[in-house]
A and B are shown apart, each in its own frame.
Chain A
């Protein structure tokens, strides 16, 4: 299964939850803490952490497409 990740930077509120859950996939910009997507097609072993990131993101700024 493929998991395609998109982030909506203007919606991001810099809660940092995705960075704590999946640091291989998400980072934060140094100047304002907004999300940076490091890997838009993460490997299978990170899928659970990425799904959890999307669930807990307070701004619903992480979108996932599974194929």
Chain B
């Protein structure tokens, strides 16, 4: 069956979850996945139609196929907002090869497993210091402000060589990048602000080099691999991606664990169990929930549907991760799930998350430290009083009052 002509009846793609099930994908997409796994949705208030690909296997088929472009500057590309401006080259997730390859290759060595493993003691120290500070007070405190957000911000600052004192500045601009209410103009202004900030830091590193990514990006500029402007954009991209994602994952992961207290002993059983628990939390939550966006460069058959050249595709990772054909009893959290790692939370294909070893290391350290240190941790309000981020491409909570 070919659905190419059914666009007139498609409904708007939404991110909003019901208040009764804030950790599950919108029920409408779970139903579509089971009934019509590749279907039409509209975006931009109905002005563009795109294919929604909801099965795990089909999601990997799209994301692993170079016939589906990531180049957001193409006319008709299903960008998050209609008023989207061309992304800087350093935001290489929005580019195809060869620009994507050139930009990504300047950073691949920075996120090698052995490099990230060497950071683990520093991540552990930062975690313990933040917990010391937080528990030095009488609760309730805002867990997001005191722990979930500063932790990955401190870590990415350490890795990049960015002074943490500037966190208000880069955190506020990073919020603009994930907010669906942002205009193209606001996006450009935040990008320009971060670019000039990081250009200054790059220049300063030339006279005072450190053992950090900014210093090594400066070396890539010297060899002619990337321009100075690209290097600053690459640093901005890492700074943004390095904290906005993990911060939300720490907060939502904590909420999820508190809702499944019987599974916390598994998390604490040892490093292998903690690693598997993190994979299952990544699968279950898939916080990058705006759907990965692609554009067909040629006609491609996916499942029962021919996606035509020039058509847009949306791959909602959180829906694919709950596909019963890939994961048994998919809506159940099972920290010991044998194939949890097969989730598509970090994407799939050449664009798969570069920072995944860092995200994994942070979560594998932070969550066991937190629950070992604070066995009586609890949310200080009923879950229905928590405000979830409903209009951002990265899902999370704005605040989380906790006591212990």
Residue-wise, chain A 1-38 has the 8 Å CB interface mask toward B (1 for contact) of 00000000000011111011101000010111110000
Task: Check A33 against B109 for contact (C-beta < 8 Å).
Answer: yes
Q: How far is the CA of A42 from the CA of B349 in the complex (A)?
A: 26
Which residues of A lie under 8 Å from residue B109 when comparing CB positions? Answer: 14, 30-33
Q: How far is the CA of A23 from the CA of B353 in the complex (A)?
A: 20
Q: How far is the CA of A30 from the CA of B111 in the complex (A)?
A: 11
Task: Check A58 against B350 for contact (C-beta < 8 Å).
Answer: yes
Which residues of A lie under 8 Å from residue B342 when comparing CB positions? Answer: 55-56
Q: How far is the CA of A32 from the CA of B341 in the complex (A)?
A: 24
Which residues of A lie under 8 Å from residue B19 when comparing CB positions? Answer: none
Task: Check B354 against A52 for contact (C-beta < 8 Å).
Answer: no
Task: Check B357 against A16 for contact (C-beta < 8 Å).
Answer: yes
Q: How far is the CA of A20 from the CA of B116 in the complex (A)?
A: 11
A60 within 8 A of B: yes
A46 within 8 A of B: no
B113 within 8 A of A: yes
**Would you list which residues of chain A between 37 and 51 have a CB under 8 Å from chain B?**
none
Which residues of A lie under 8 Å from residue B347 when comparing CB positions? Answer: 58
Which residues of A lie under 8 Å from residue B356 when comparing CB positions? Answer: 15-17
Classify chain B's interface size.
20 to 34
CB-contact partner of A59 in B113, B114, B349, under 8 A: B349
Which chain B residue shows the least CB distance to A20?
B113
Which residues of B lie under 8 Å from residue A23 when comparing CB positions? Answer: 113
Most chain A CB within 10 A, of B108, B109, B114, B350, is at B108
Which residues of B lie under 8 Å from residue A19 when comparing CB positions? Answer: 112-114
Q: How far is the CA of A57 from the CA of B64 in the complex (A)?
A: 10
**If A20-B357, A30-B109 touch, does A58 touch B348 (CB 8 Å cutoff)?**
yes
Task: Check A28 against B348 for contact (C-beta < 8 Å).
Answer: no
Which chain A residue shows the least CB distance to B358?
A16
> Shortest CB–CB separation between residue A7 and chain B, in angstroms?
15
Residue-wise, chain B 74-118 has the 8 Å CB interface mask toward A (1 for contact) of 000000000000000000000000000000110011011110100
Task: Check B360 against A20 for contact (C-beta < 8 Å).
Answer: yes
Residue-wise, chain B 145-184 has the 8 Å CB interface mask toward A (1 for contact) of 0000000000000000000000000000000000000000
Q: How far is the CA of A43 from the CA of B314 in the complex (A)?
A: 41
> Shortest CB–CB separation between residue B400 and chain A, in angstroms?
29
> Shortest CB–CB separation between residue A63 and chain B, in angstroms?
15
B346 within 8 A of A: yes
Residue-wise, chain B 282-308 has the 8 Å CB interface mask toward A (1 for contact) of 000000000000000000000000000
Task: Check B113 against A28 for contact (C-beta < 8 Å).
Answer: yes
B352 within 8 A of A: yes
Which residues of A lie under 8 Å from residue B354 when comparing CB positions? Answer: 14-15
Which chain B residue shows the least CB distance to A34?
B108
Which chain B residue shows the least CB distance to A12?
B108
CB-contact partner of B346 in A15, A21, A31, A55, under 8 A: A15
> Shortest CB–CB separation between residue A20 and chain B, in angstroms?
6
**If A15-B346, A20-B360 touch, does A58 touch B352 (CB 8 Å cutoff)?**
yes
Which residues of A lie under 8 Å from residue B111 when comparing CB positions? Answer: 14, 16, 33
Task: Check B112 against A33 for contact (C-beta < 8 Å).
Answer: yes
Task: Check A16 against B112 for contact (C-beta < 8 Å).
Answer: yes
> Shortest CB–CB separation between residue A52 and chain B, in angstroms?
7
Which chain A residue shows the least CB distance to B348?
A58
A-B contact pairs, 18 of them (CB 8 A): A13-B352, A14-B109, A16-B116, A16-B356, A19-B113, A20-B113, A20-B357, A28-B113, A30-B109, A30-B112, A31-B109, A32-B109, A33-B108, A56-B342, A58-B64, A58-B347, A58-B349, A59-B64
- Could you list which residues of chain A lie within 8 angstroms of chain B, going by C-beta atoms? 13-17, 19-21, 23, 28, 30-34, 52, 55-56, 58-60
Given contacts A32-B109, A58-B347, 15 further A-B contacts (CB under 8 A): A13-B108, A13-B350, A13-B352, A14-B108, A16-B112, A16-B116, A16-B357, A19-B113, A21-B341, A33-B111, A34-B108, A58-B349, A58-B350, A59-B64, A60-B64
